Structure 1
């Protein structure tokens, strides 16, 4: 798979809009740009652990719906929170815990994508939007990130259950070609 969208950086999730999100992924670098194109991973366990205790209590039992971003019209603004309930759903939705338990480690994970449209089940849309904005603001801290500068031949594996990944923009005259494998996952709990 070629990841070549040079002008825009992009966040990647693990298909949180499906009933069984991916458990992990691997990238193999075939071609890399001279500058840019780095990948950053965000540690969602560390993000959860550093939340205020009152926020942890508030979000402990909440369910989150993540909407499939690939169903949006190309080049149209994307909402980060579903405020308009009158928009018909195009595909089924699968609520998952906002605070997920990692199936192997048992650690708590703030199971929230950074930029995909979401909705907190059972909360007033305005209250849900404000909560998600607060949590996303918390995620945007350098202490949660690992940055990988790619070299040809690198293979990197990551746990999609506990991280988000982000691809840095790069020169549109350069190429970035990666092979990707994603592994099947389980129902979040």
Structure 2
């Protein structure tokens, strides 16, 4: 089952190894864990997340010379992404900006955490969907075909715009594009801890299926995106201040609708681990 609520655990103080082992096992099983009422600061959140893996900065932040592993998602500081410049506007219009973090990169985070500091009076929810459940719901014949495929993932031009790289000139954009070229991943991965298979495509970054004609690729991706984002595979969380959510990046996609403007929303994010998706057939 996707999602679980964890009660009776305070993340403010150091956590013993047995409890951390149980938390990690619950994350692998349920994929998304809610820890309500955690009165943490950013450093305490960072300390908790580091028990799940090594904190890693956003790859674009690293490219720009930064090393911050505590990220403040605040619409008063950073505007929502310009989705009009995304690589698949038609898919985003149909399915929203669902994504797994950094799939345009060779490696993705293992886990991520979000903690709510300021929540808007309306909207501002976050949704997660299980790519394991979506895989399990496919027919065996389609599963067998998909296991042999690879997909190309790309960030699209909106990243250069949203990170302010375009303002630095054409040479800066060229360096950025060279650092983050399109990258291939398996369409189906095997979870390294549970061994379960999961779909590994998303509307934000997956741009084509290798080896298919353009029309075939578009049709298959449209089907997979529509399939992945069905409500039966998803949960929606309405934030309260001091909620902390941890999730498994390897077997989920997530979405943050921008339905709360002009109200302020601030979440603190720490991502940990870095691993290349492993093909189900490997």
Name 1:57's counterpart in structure 2. Answer: 144
Q: Of residues 187, 192, 200 in structure 2, which corresponds to 1:103?
A: 192
For 1:10-159, list aligned pairs within 5 A: 10-69=97-156, 74=161, 90=177, 91-159=180-248
Q: What is the CA–CA distance in structure 2 between the aligned matches of 1:113 and 1:16, rounded to whole Å?
A: 9
Name 2:270's counterpart in structure 1. Answer: 181
User: For the Cα contact (< 8 Å) 1:69–1:117, is it kept in 2?
Assistant: no
Q: Deviations over 1:32-61 (max 9, x none)?
A: 011100111010000000012221122111
Q: Deviations over 1:131-161 (max 9, x none)?
A: 1111111112110111111010011001110
User: For the Cα contact (< 8 Å) 1:6–1:170, is it kept in 2?
Assistant: no
Q: What is the CA–CA distance in structure 1 between the aligned matches of 2:112 and 2:190, rounded to whole Å?
A: 19
* Higher relative contact order, structure no. (Cα contacts within 8 Å, ≥ 6 residues apart): 1
With structure 2 as the length reference, what TM-score do the two structures score? 0.57
Q: Alignment RMSD, CA only?
A: 2.3
Name 2:73's counterpart in structure 1. Answer: 2
User: For the Cα contact (< 8 Å) 1:23–1:159, is it kept in 2?
Assistant: yes
Deviation at residue 185 of structure 1 after TM alignment: 2.1
Structure 1 residues 117 and 61 mapped into 2: Cα distance closer, same or farther (>3 Å)? closer
With structure 1 as the length reference, what TM-score do the two structures score? 0.84
Name 1:84's counterpart in structure 2. Answer: none
What is the SS of the residue equivalent to 1:69?
A: coil
Q: What is the CA–CA distance in structure 1 between the aligned matches of 2:256 and 2:219, rounded to whole Å?
A: 26
Q: What is the CA–CA distance in structure 1 between the aligned matches of 2:209 and 2:97, rounded to whole Å?
A: 23
More helix, by proportion: 2
Q: Please say which structure displays the higher CA radius of gyration.
A: 2
Q: What is the CA–CA distance in structure 1 between the aligned matches of 2:80 and 2:132, rounded to whole Å?
A: 30
Which runs of no fewer than 5 residues in structure 1 stay unpaired?
Answer: 76-88
Q: What is the CA–CA distance in structure 1 between the aligned matches of 2:205 and 2:156, rounded to whole Å?
A: 6
Name 2:60's counterpart in structure 1. Answer: none
Q: What is the CA–CA distance in structure 2 between the aligned matches of 1:6 and 1:21, rounded to whole Å?
A: 22
Equivalenced residues, count = 176
Q: What is the CA–CA distance in structure 1 between the aligned matches of 2:255 and 2:275, rounded to whole Å?
A: 23
More strand, by proportion: 1
Which runs of no fewer than 5 residues in structure 2 stay unpaired?
Answer: 1-71, 84-95, 163-175
